[in-house]
């Protein structure tokens, strides 16, 4: 007889899901709630240490309800349990930024959480009465306020039984669906004949999940990396190795590829509820995103209706696209974005941006708020992007000029707040006077105390004040201030603190996370296993050091599925993008390379440059050489969604001549786009893709030079080469494709660059403008 399944839910999720009600209201001080949760764990430990030797901290508690078909496990950790005059008391600690005088009684869901712990502990210990203490702590002032209550155990038991009874239909639905999901996953077979090496790749991914490890997977275009990671993850869930798959991406286009892959599996029998999370601003149905019952009809009474909306949706559907979510939200008059977050709890697969797992301001608190480990698999697509994204997520800055703007806005409302702003501004003024280019600081500890007092004053002001015209600007500044203070709590040897002037000559104080690995690892630890995959993870040691701190991670290099005769890889040795070589003569060489290549065979070509300025200059030279004989187009800065679509659509037009499109390395068209067969037959790359010299690049260079002697490589060469590899990957997308890749810079002949070439680039040829025509002619004249 098969063992009964166990369904798990945290105490926090249980009470917040079942007992909520009322409006969404961004005016009631909830904006800093997430920041309070981040900061709260530090304060928890501080309070717990003060409570004496009888105080038991972080006590794991679990209640298991046996039903005829499954076990329901309600789990959590009580912040503290201690004896008080013969009564055992459950202590629930909540860190807040609100003034404690505003609390006349505990928040209902906080109290409910404590009562759950009181019931579980009372049942385990056979107690007739249990005490509950709600401890609220202001995170700025460390002031405490406590509420205490004594409960008869039998009353707690009746209350808890009613709570679970209201949750029962959700648990029943989850159990029944898991049976369907598991049976379908176990029968599922790979939907294609395996390409060479692909079965091993699928096995490697499955083994990673079985062993609960982290895998770095370098998978060139054509290997089928999406299906080769998704399929074993689905099979692992079917075998009970995990429960949820998070497919994490950096761009909309890769989310589309993931969604299409899961739909393909569904056509072959997979049964899974797949949710595609879309950014809040794209889901909002109002002209202006202002989440309160006055300005949004969907916010009014949202929590009274949303559970019915979610239950209805998950009962009838398994494909939660943006369009379906919007229709359901309209039907029930609830916020589509907030509803989508609730739907995630009942989804088997969540396709979303990196920030929903890694960003401390955006992560899904339903899964990750308490730092507990969940039965999750993380599939991180285009993982090379996570290095810079991670640095940005865990960095923060303050702008001196914004303190002055806030003073003007608040002058008529709060003299006390203006005084605190002025004190902070004076400190920043001192730093500004010291700074010419940028200045490094070991610590800004004294300033942090001033910021904490400022934050406390802002919280009092926003709590006590109703609507006023400047509220949005004031709230935005306050949230950024809270973010800065929370990031400061993370500052360690992986950070650099500095001041500088930005491009608008504003003065910044920045906490810069030069190595995000530790912070990212904290997030990865919340799941079971992770697969980082990309067509460009070279050198792999660089990514292993910047995306994880574990030293037992796996790395796999998947061999290309394409043959060497599908591409002609040329290195132009008589041209360079070095700043010292940038002149009219050199630009003309680039233009000649482009024209000669596109003249070799009619077709579509993409040419990439390290900067807009160089691209525009070479484009002008190309127009002169071309004299209207070929069609051309150039990428513009800050293109709209429609302009981007038009740029891509240009590759699908029928033409009488060749078409040459000019773009920027690392931009929106150098990775992620999928132009197959005759849509693109050549990519030319001008230069080695080195990022432009700037303050942060120089800080990175100096940091890593001191750390491992590879400052230039970590700050410039590796990120630059990644852009080159991504851009080159646009041209050969299928087994039927054939095309040219040209690396136009003599530096590609250097050993340090060729060591970064993928294995499939071992076969390449060197050319000059003089020999180019013959090499291209030979390539295109070969029989396919």
Domain spans, the chain: 5-169, 188-272+348-394+516-561, 279-346, 399-513, 564-781
Contact at 8 Å (CB) between 427 and 454?
no
| CA dihedral of residues 289, 294, 298, 302 (deg, nearest 10) | 120
What integer pLDDT is reported at residue 734 of this predicted model? 87
What integer pLDDT is reported at residue 722 of this predicted model? 96
Judge whether residue 540 has pLDDT over 80.
Answer: yes
pLDDT average, residue stretch 510-537: 97
The kind and range of the H/E element at 245 are strand 244-249
The kind and range of the H/E element at 570 are strand 567-572
**SS3 string of 624-659?**
HHHCCCCEEEECCCCCCHHHHHHHHHHHHCCCCCCE
Structure token pair of residue 328: 């359901």
pLDDT class of 368 with cuts at 50, 70, 90:
confident
Judge whether residue 34 has pLDDT over 60.
Answer: no
What integer pLDDT is reported at residue 35 of this predicted model? 45
Q: What are the pLDDT digits (tens) for 151-191?
A: 999 999 999 999 999 999 999 999 999 999 999 999 999 99
CB neighbour list of residue 572: distance below 8 Å, 6 or more residues apart: 593, 742, 743, 744, 745, 746, 767, 768, 769, 772
Picking from 353, 16, 30, the residue whose alpha carbon sits closest to that of residue 163 is 16
Provide, rounded to the nearest whole percent, the portion of the chain with pLDDT above 70.
97
Higher pLDDT, 346 or 3: 346
Count CB atoms within 10 A of the CB of residue 428: 20
Whether 564-781 and 188-272+348-394+516-561 are alike in CATH topology: the answer is yes
CA distance 758 to 41: 44
CATH top-level class of 188-272+348-394+516-561 = alpha beta
What integer pLDDT is reported at residue 101 of this predicted model? 87
CB neighbour list of residue 276: distance below 8 Å, 6 or more residues apart: 255, 259, 320, 321, 322, 351, 352
pLDDT class of 36 with cuts at 50, 70, 90:
low
One CATH from 1.10.20.60, 3.40.50.300, 2.60.120.10, 3.40.50.11030 for 564-781 = 3.40.50.300
Judge whether residue 613 has pLDDT over 60.
Answer: yes
CA distance 346 to 203: 28
What integer pLDDT is reported at residue 371 of this predicted model? 64
pLDDT average, residue stretch 447-451: 96
Domain covering 5-169 in this structure, CATH number:
3.90.320.10
What integer pLDDT is reported at residue 714 of this predicted model? 98
**SS3 string of 660-689?**
EEEEECCCCCCCCCCCCHHHCCEEEEECCC
| CA dihedral of residues 440, 446, 449, 453 (deg, nearest 10) | -100
Topology of domain 399-513, CATH? Fumarase C; Chain B, domain 1 (1.10.275)
Residue 329 vs residues 370, 458, 600: alpha-carbon distances, Å: 28, 34, 55
How far is C-alpha 188 from the geometric centre of its chain's CA atoms? Answer: 30
pLDDT average, residue stretch 229-243: 97
Judged by average pLDDT, the poorest of 605-614, 759-768, 774-783 is 774-783
**Residue 290, SS3 per DSSP:** coil
């Amino acid at each position: 007889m098969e063992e009964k399944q166990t369904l798990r839910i945290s105490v926090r999720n249980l009470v917040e899901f079942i007992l909520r009600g009322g409006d969404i209201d961004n005016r009631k001080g909830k904006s800093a709630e997430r920041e309070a949760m981040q900061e709260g764990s530090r304060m928890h430990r501080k309070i717990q240490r003060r409570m004496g030797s009888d105080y038991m901290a972080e006590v794991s508690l679990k209640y298991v309800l046996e039903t005829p078909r499954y076990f329901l496990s309600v789990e959590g950790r009580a912040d503290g349990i201690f004896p008080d005059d013969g009564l055992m008391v459950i202590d629930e600690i909540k860190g807040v930024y609100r003034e404690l005088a505003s609390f006349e009684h505990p928040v209902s869901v906080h109290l409910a959480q404590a009562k759950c712990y009181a019931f579980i502990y009372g049942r385990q210990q056979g107690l007739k009465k249990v005490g509950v203490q709600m401890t609220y702590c202001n995170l700025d002032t460390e002031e405490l306020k406590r509420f205490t209550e004594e409960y008869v155990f039998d009353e707690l038991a009746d209350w808890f039984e009613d709570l679970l009874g209201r949750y029962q239909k959700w648990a029943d639905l989850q159990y029944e669906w898991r049976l369907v999901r598991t049976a379908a996953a176990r029968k599922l077979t790979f939907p294609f004949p395996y390409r060479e090496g692909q079965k091993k790749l699928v096995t490697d991914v499955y083994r990673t999940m079985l062993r609960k490890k982290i895998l770095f997977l370098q998978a060139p275009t054509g290997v089928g990396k999406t299906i080769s990671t998704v399929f074993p993850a689905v099979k692992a869930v079917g075998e009970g190795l995990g429960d949820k798959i998070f497919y994490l991406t950096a761009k909309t286009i890769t989310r589309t590829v993931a969604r299409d892959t899961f739909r393909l599996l569904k056509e072959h029998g997979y049964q899974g509820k797949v949710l595609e999370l879309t950014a809040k601003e794209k889901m909002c149905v109002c002209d202006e995103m202002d989440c309160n019952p006055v300005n949004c009809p969907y916010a009014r009474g949202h929590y009274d209706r949303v559970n019915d909306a979610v239950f209805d949706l998950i009962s009838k559907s398994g494909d939660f696209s943006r369009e379906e979510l919007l229709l359901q939200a309209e039907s029930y008059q609830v916020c589509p974005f907030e509803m989508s977050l609730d739907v995630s709890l009942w989804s088997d697969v969540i396709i979303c941006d990196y920030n929903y797992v890694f960003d401390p301001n955006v992560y899904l608190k339903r899964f990750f708020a308490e730092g507990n480990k969940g039965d999750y698999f993380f599939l991180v697509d285009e993982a090379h992007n996570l290095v810079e994204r991670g640095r940005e997520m865990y960095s923060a800055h303050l702008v001196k000029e914004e303190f002055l703007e806030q003073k003007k806005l608040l002058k008529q409302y709060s003299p006390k707040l203006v005084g605190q702003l002025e004190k902070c501004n004076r400190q920043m003024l001192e730093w500004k006077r010291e700074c010419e280019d940028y200045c490094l600081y070991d610590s800004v500890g004294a300033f942090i105390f001033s910021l904490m007092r400022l934050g406390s004053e802002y919280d009092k002001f926003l709590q006590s004040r109703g609507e006023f015209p400047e509220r949005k600007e004031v709230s935005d500044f306050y949230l950024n201030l809270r973010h800065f203070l929370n990031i400061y709590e993370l500052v360690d040897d992986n950070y650099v603190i500095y001041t500088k002037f930005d491009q608008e000559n504003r003065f910044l104080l920045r906490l810069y996370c030069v190595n995000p690995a530790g912070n990212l690892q904290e997030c990865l630890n919340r799941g079971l296993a992770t697969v980082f995959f990309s067509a460009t993870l070279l050198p792999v040691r660089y990514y292993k050091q910047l995306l994880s701190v574990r030293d037992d991670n796996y790395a796999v290099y998947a061999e290309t599925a394409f043959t060497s005769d599908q591409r002609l890889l040329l290195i132009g040795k008589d041209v360079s993008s070095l700043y010292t070589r940038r002149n009219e003569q050199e630009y003309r060489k680039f233009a000649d390379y482009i024209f000669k290549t596109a003249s070799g065979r009619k077709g579509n070509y993409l040419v990439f440059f390290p900067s807009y300025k160089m691209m525009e200059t070479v484009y002008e030279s190309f127009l002169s050489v071309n004299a209207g004989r070929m069609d051309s187009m150039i990428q513009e800065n800050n293109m709209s969604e429609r302009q981007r679509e038009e740029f891509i659509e240009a590759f699908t037009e029928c033409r009488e001549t060749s078409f040459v499109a000019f773009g920027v390395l690392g931009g929106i068209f150098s990775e992620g786009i999928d132009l197959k067969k005759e849509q693109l037959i050549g990519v030319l790359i001008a230069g080695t893709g080195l990022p432009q010299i700037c303050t942060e690049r120089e800080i990175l260079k100096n940091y890593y030079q001191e750390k491992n002697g590879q400052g230039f490589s970590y700050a410039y060469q590796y990120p630059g080469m990644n852009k080159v590899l991504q851009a080159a990957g646009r041209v050969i997308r299928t087994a039927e494709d054939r095309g040219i890749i040209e690396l136009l810079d003599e530096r590609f002949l250097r050993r340090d660059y060729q060591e970064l070439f993928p294995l499939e680039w071992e076969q390449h040829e060197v050319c000059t403008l003089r020999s180019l025509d013959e090499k291209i002619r030979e390539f295109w004249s070969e029989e396919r």
